[in-house]
Homo-oligomer: A and B are copies of this chain.
Amino acid sequence: MFDKIIAHVKRFVPLSPKEEEILCSYLKIEEYAKKKHLLEEGEMCTGKYFVNSGVVRMYTLNEKGVEQVIHFAIEGWWITDYFTFNTNMPAKCGIQAVEPTQIIVIDAAEQEELLKELPQMERYFRLVLEKAYAASLMRTHYMFNFSAEERYRHFSEHYPEFVQRVPQYLVASYLGFTPEFLSMLRAKKG
């Protein structure tokens, strides 16, 4: 049930069988159908989500109410609204299942207890965040330094399963252009 997340944690910090049990006692599994929300704009963000299977997207709304995809997470990725997680403010973004998705949740309120019981989880989350932050800066780099076409070619080369699993209009939004333009790119070649 929790093997994937246990394996993930063990890639970063050691965990005895007993400690594995402790960790598991803090985990909850949740199932989300396609298009169901893990978090809706304006709600309180009550947990950290580990994608056990499936795909989710994080998005923000602009003034016209258009949804902009900020981030995808697939199996093995953590996702949460860190912006409001620590502040008890209502979320400014939504998190939604793109396909049927199984999520492992660590509740915000219980996280502190877990970190006291298993201090190495503090290190685990630090290391995971270092990777996520680096990836976010790399995304910024790609957005600035490559044209829409280059971004699309790069993305479909490096994450072909994504292009399969995720509707094109969400890929377009993530890459920062319109679905119509993506359609044009596809017509042109590949």
Contact = CB atoms under 8 A, between A and B. Distances in A.
Interface in A131-157: 131-134, 136-141, 143-146
Interface size class of A (residues with CB under 8 A): 35 or more
Main secondary structure of the interface of A (DSSP, over half): helix
Interface of A: 58, 60, 62-63, 66, 68, 70-71, 81-83, 85-86, 93, 115, 119, 122-123, 125-127, 129-134, 136-141, 143-146, 176
7 contacts: A63-B145, A71-B137, A82-B134, A93-B141, A119-B119, A136-B140, A144-B176
Nearest to A64: B145
Contacts of A83: 134, 137-138
A131 B66 CA distance: 26
B70 A140 contact: yes
